[in-house]
Homo-oligomer: A and B are copies of this chain.
């Protein structure tokens, strides 16, 4: 199978809402729920993608690098690439019933592990999803990051115990899900969380704890002060609040504020190895990618995931070669030009 075949298969399998566009930019799917688009005007998703278009790579082939090394060490492990699959939930509703949340999670967790990276997995109103995913992660020796919604504190801590039992590499919480009022209607309210509560949650586990959904310097400081191992700069793909900035445009200032205190990752709009390069150059230590992994799974299951990861690696490696970066740490802001 080739990656092009994965994409072709995905078009058949992925359901009516996602168009598997040549450029996954949030335009064709904006504001339509169910579906993969951004909320309301869809601009949160669209701007995520467009923000990357605002940077070019400073090509320079007068150097001695010929075999760039794309690997990174994070959460005590070494990964082939500084790229992780982002948590995706309710795939039956937003895509098609070829997968449900459990089978999707299993495919992306196993595919990523085999490909040398890591998948974050999602949470849901029904406990089977979270628990079943933990089982899948356990089967991969813990290579996966369960991502918990901002439920009541006791419930979050209970889910942390489940993740620990699965020996998960790390545990995450997407605190920007606090605005999903639909969950309260289903009897499982989420809410914003004070720094104090967050501190107690993080202190309850030895695992690296990652806060996803940071969009301001103020929030980044609160998360860092609460002891977050890492934060993920993310506007939730534009799906929890309309008319947010893109995650990329707030990245640099957040890195400047808390980059020496915690690890900063970026989620939102990353599609190619060049996008990975750009996010790293602007200060991220790693990136999360969501929608293209859905395409990869629906179009090629575990093999699709591997093919997509390999393509990302080839693109990132070529970008490093063409800019003279031997290692990931060499990808610095001077390798980019604001266009």
Question: A62 within 8 Å of B by Cβ?
Answer: yes
The CA of A66 and the CA of B191, in the complex, are separated in Å by 7
Judging by beta carbons under 8 Å apart, are A194 and B60 in contact? Answer: no
The CA of A64 and the CA of B194, in the complex, are separated in Å by 5
Question: A219 within 8 Å of B by Cβ?
Answer: yes
Q: Return A124 CB to nearest CB of chain B, in Å.
A: 19
Contacts of A223 in B (CB 8 A): 62
Tell me the A171-203 residues at the B interface (CB within 8 Å): 175-176, 178-179, 181, 191-195, 198
Question: A242 within 8 Å of B by Cβ?
Answer: yes
Judging by beta carbons under 8 Å apart, are A59 and B322 in contact? Answer: no
Contacts of A243 in B (CB 8 A): 53, 55-57, 274
Question: A63 within 8 Å of B by Cβ?
Answer: yes
Contacts of A66 in B (CB 8 A): 191-192
- The 0/1 profile, CB within 8 Å of B marked 1, for residues 32-63 of chain A is 00000000110100010000010111111111
Tell me the A211-249 residues at the B interface (CB within 8 Å): 213, 215-216, 218-219, 222-223, 226, 235, 240-245, 249
Partner pick for A245 among B23, B58, B195, B321, CB 8 A cutoff: B58
Known contacts A58-B216, A61-B175; decide if A192 and B241 are in contact (CB<8 Å). Answer: no
Judging by beta carbons under 8 Å apart, are A193 and B59 in contact? Answer: no
Q: Return A201 CB to nearest CB of chain B, in Å.
A: 12
Determine the residue in chain B with the shortest Cβ distance to A47: B339
**How many copies of the shown chain assemble into the complex?**
4
Partner pick for A216 among B59, B176, B250, CB 8 A cutoff: B59
Question: A12 within 8 Å of B by Cβ?
Answer: no
Judging by beta carbons under 8 Å apart, are A62 and B219 in contact? Answer: yes
| Interface-centre pick from A23, A41, A242, A243 (highest chain B CB count, 10 A) | A243
Partner pick for A244 among B59, B62, B175, B178, CB 8 A cutoff: B59
Judging by beta carbons under 8 Å apart, are A318 and B245 in contact? Answer: no
Question: A319 within 8 Å of B by Cβ?
Answer: yes
Question: A65 within 8 Å of B by Cβ?
Answer: yes
What are 16 pairs between A and B in contact, CB < 8 Å?
Answer: A40-B272, A47-B56, A53-B243, A57-B244, A59-B176, A59-B215, A59-B240, A61-B178, A61-B179, A62-B175, A62-B193, A62-B195, A66-B192, A241-B319, A242-B274, A245-B339
Kindly list the 10 A-B residue pairs having the minimum CB-CB distance in the complex, ordered from nearest.
Answer: A61-B178, A56-B245, A60-B219, A61-B192, A62-B222, A59-B215, A241-B322, A64-B194, A179-B322, A245-B337
- Chain A residues proximal to chain B, CB less than 8 Å: 23, 40-41, 43, 47, 53, 55-66, 150, 175-176, 178-179, 181, 191-195, 198, 213, 215-216, 218-219, 222-223, 226, 235, 240-245, 249-250, 272, 274, 318-319, 321-322, 324, 337, 339
